[in-house]
Amino acid sequence: MPIQFGKLRNLQKLNDFVVGKNSGSGVNLLKELQDLHGTLTISRLENVGDVKDVSEAELKNKKFISCLILKFSCCLALDDSKRKREILGELKPHANLKSLSIHGYQGTSFPDWVGDQLYCNLVMVLLYKCDNCFLLPSFGQLPSLKCLWISNFPGVEIIGPEFYYSSDIIGSSTKPFRSLEILHLSDMPNLRKWLFIEDEVEDGVFPCLRELTLTLCPKLRVSLPNFLPSLRKLCIEKCHSLEPLVPRAQQMDVAFPSLEILDISLSGGQVYLLKGGLPSSLKEIRIETCYNLEALDEEAFQNLTSLEKLFIYGCDKVRCLPSLLPTSLSHLSIEECLLLRPRVRRETGEDWPIIHNIPNFDRDEAMMCRWAIHKMWPMQEE
């Protein structure tokens, strides 16, 4: 940024501050801009030459910034990790902050302010592509945190107690993640263990969690918490080593009493996820490209009295449908399922008597017809 930029003392809106490589174009130009409002993005933080320049920016005094986005643009050597931690440490924002995003940070751990309960207004946190980091911040004590998105952390192998409590308050009676509603963990190729500290917290962790997404965690071997009372949507994708959803599947009604949407995809080893019972609250089930799934367990489907939508895609080993599908089912979609295809043919298929009363039924033939019509009349609206 140009040197004269720092003289715009009355500036209230700044979408993206790009840190330059040249002297006089650093983060310290932000020092005089005390009236900045709304969202502030600081990009190319890898260009910071002197950590002192960052401290001079005085982000901690900019009380009108509600959303802070910090971006490092290139992968840096592991031996530069300490310096990157010092830079991020000096970017500590004001306690009024509501949303925080950190992209491309290459430190091995985060400074203490990230996750500090001082940020009582922080509602959303997004951490992306932090290649060298092996320890997640202690987000559990942020009282207002509702959405936590963590993606592309190849260095993290274990999510332990530090995720719920900082080292100075471990054992606190305050329930961790007491406001969290959405949790997304993705692209963590070496994550193998996730501890839930349920025995230490009355009524379990994540009491308000509504959506949980686990994507691209191929080594993760864990059962989910025994009690997620508010969970409505569960998505699992490419988590080949995941253990049964709960240790005793017959208790899923107790474990997930509010679960309405279950989405499992690209999971080679999760045959058992659909065995032994599913919560009766389920309204929608999506099963996509589960290569080893051979059958939809009769017991798992017999009590799904609220099920409205069932999607099965790319499950070539599934031999047949359950003999009894719930009468509440109004939409069934079966696509690219080699063994199921002949069984669900209209009138002649062996499973046709099971599904003929379902109002909306999509299968490969119907999809092919729609595709052919679109190819003949590409401009025609459906």
Between 107 and 33, where is the model more confident?
107
Between 95 and 173, where is the model more confident?
95
Q: Quote the Cα angle for 262-266-271, to 5°.
A: 70
Structural contact between residues 133 and 108, judged by C-beta atoms closer than 8 angstroms: yes
Tell me the mean pLDDT in the region 271-291.
Answer: 79
Q: Which pLDDT belongs to residue 202?
A: 64
Q: Is the pLDDT of residue 292 over 90?
A: no
Q: Which residues contact 362 (CB under 8 A, 6 or more apart)?
A: 331, 332, 333, 334, 335
Q: Which pLDDT belongs to residue 380?
A: 47
Across the chain, mean pLDDT equals 84
* Residue located via tokens 């379990």: 204
Helix, strand and coil percent figures for the chain, each rounded to 5: 20, 20, 60
Q: Is the pLDDT of residue 372 over 50?
A: no
CA 129 to chain centre: 14
3-state secondary structure (DSSP) of residue 6: helix
Q: Which pLDDT belongs to residue 80?
A: 77
What is the length of the chain?
Answer: 382
Q: Which pLDDT belongs to residue 367?
A: 47
| Nearest Cα residue to 112 out of 77, 144, 146, 88 | 88
pTM of the model: 0.87
Q: Which pLDDT belongs to residue 375?
A: 43
Quick: pLDDT tens for 142-196. Answer: 999 999 999 999 999 999 999 998 766 555 567 899 999 999 999 999 999 998 8
Of the candidate CATH numbers 1.10.3470, 3.80.10, 3.40.5, 3.40.50, the domain formed by 5-247+263-280 belongs to 3.80.10
What Cα–Cα distance (Å) separates residue 147 from each residue in 21, 179, 212, 357? Answer: 34, 9, 10, 40
Q: How far apart are CA 224 and CA 320, in angstroms?
A: 29
Reported as a pLDDT band with limits 50, 70 and 90, residue 83 is: confident
What does 214-230 look like in DSSP terms, one character per residue? EES-TT---PPPS--TT
Q: Which pLDDT belongs to residue 122?
A: 97
* Residue located via tokens 């080593």: 241
Q: Structural domain boundaries of the chain?
A: 5-247+263-280
Phi, then psi, of 207 in degrees rounded to 5: -65, -25
Structure tokens at 51: 């950590």
